[in-house]
Structure formats: C-alpha cells, structure tokens
Amino acid sequence: MFDMDRIHRIPQFGTRVGRSAHPLRVMDRKGTFPARGTATGHRYHTEADALRFPGGGDVAPQGLTVVCCRVSSRGQQDDLKRPVSAMEAYGPGAGMAVDEWRSEVGSGLHGKRKVFLSLRERIEEREIAHRPVAHRDRPTRFGFDWFEHFATQHGCTITVVNQESLSPQEAM
C-alpha cells in the first residue's frame, strides 16, 4: 500500500502527477493547491496530496510500457524468441508502443530475479504505466493476483495477452 506520509519535493511531485514544477509553484502561490512547508522554508507535497490532486495523480501519465519475456531455464533460452515475437506482433495490433524490452532466464518460483525485482521497483516508483504479459504465470508462477494488485496500486496496468501459444507446455 502507499506510504501516505512519503514526502515529494516539488519537481518529484510534478513527475508523480504529470505536471512540471512551475505550474505547481504557481498553484501553491495562488492557494489553489497549496504545498506544505518545512521550518526552513522548503516546500513539499505528500503521497496523500497526490491522491487528491485535481485530475487524479493515481496513474503515471508519462510512464513507460515495458514488456519482459521470461523462460524458466537456460535450456529453454532458444524458446525465448517465440514469446518475444508474439508480443512484438501483439503490440501494433493493440495500439501499443513498447518503450522497453526486457528478457530473463529464471524460474517463476524464484521471487528474487534481478529483472523482476528491477521492474517491481520501477512500478513502485511509478516509472512504468503499462506492463503487458504473455500469460498470467510469466511475471511470477504463483502470486499473480498479488502482483497485479501491487501494480494497480502504483498506477500500472497489467494486460494479459493470454495466448496459449505463448505459454510453454505444463512442466512434467
């Protein structure tokens, strides 16, 4: 969940709500959306302010679309081409422009994969606004519902393409 007391300086807050720092400072001066102040005169906003910001602030408007394809073992590394090409074919048909492509080799049961952790942290920082996945078990083998909820709470939508041809045959 959110840390509602998390402090954002004005430029950080602007990135968070999709505005530049200057209009936020003008809104502060006019009193239409006042910032908080420290004893030393520095101005800031909190996460709670982002949620009540006019026009939302709950979605990262300038966030990235990141596709990450995963296979479970090095022996399946050649199979990585199949989900990548399928996701490349899906993108234009869905009107999706992909900003970044990532791939990794590692078990979906292993929750400390470097690429997975990196993407999770970037979702938490609201850098990623859209995360299409080939199948529900691709980000994590178990716990997809938690991951989807986590992403939604941080302004990221997850689209499950769910094409059976993208998912490997069930493990023996």
pLDDT band at residue 43 using 50, 70 and 90 as cut-offs? very high
The answer to whether 109 touches 135, Cβ cutoff 8 Å, is: no
User: Residue 70: pLDDT above 90?
Assistant: no
User: Residue 44: pLDDT above 90?
Assistant: yes
What is the token pair recorded at 90?
């899906």
DSSP 3-state helix, strand, coil percentages of the chain (rounded to 5)? 40, 20, 40
Dihedrals phi, psi of 11, to nearest 5 degrees: -65, -40
User: What CATH number did the domain enclosing 111 receive?
Assistant: 3.40.50.1390
Which tens digit of pLDDT belongs to each residue from 25-42? Answer: 998 999 888 999 999 999
Pair (71, 150) in one structural domain: yes
pLDDT band at residue 1 using 50, 70 and 90 as cut-offs? very low
- Considering the entire predicted model, what is its pTM? 0.56
Pair (79, 137) in one structural domain: yes
Q: Which residue has the higher pLDDT, 109 or 153?
A: 153
| Whole-number Cα distances in Å, 171 to 72, 105, 107, 123 | 10, 16, 12, 29
pLDDT band at residue 141 using 50, 70 and 90 as cut-offs? low
Question: Cβ atoms within 10 A of the Cβ of 1, count?
Answer: 7
User: Residue 10: pLDDT above 80?
Assistant: yes
Radius of gyration of the chain (CA): 19
Task: Tell me whether residue 56 is in a domain.
Answer: no
Pair (149, 110) in one structural domain: yes
Closest CA to 33 of 51, 60, 15: 51
Q: In the predicted model, what is the mean pLDDT of residues 131-160? A: 81
Q: Domain total for the chain? A: 2
Q: Does 20 participate in catalysis according to the annotation?
A: no
Task: Tell me whether residue 83 is in a domain.
Answer: yes
Q: What is the mean pLDDT of the chain?
A: 79
User: Residue 166: pLDDT above 50?
Assistant: no
Active-site choice (20, 72, 85, 103):
72
Q: What is the DSSP letter of 34?
A: P
**Structural domain boundaries enclosing 78:** 64-166
Task: Tell me whether residue 171 is in a domain.
Answer: no
Pair (79, 42) in one structural domain: no
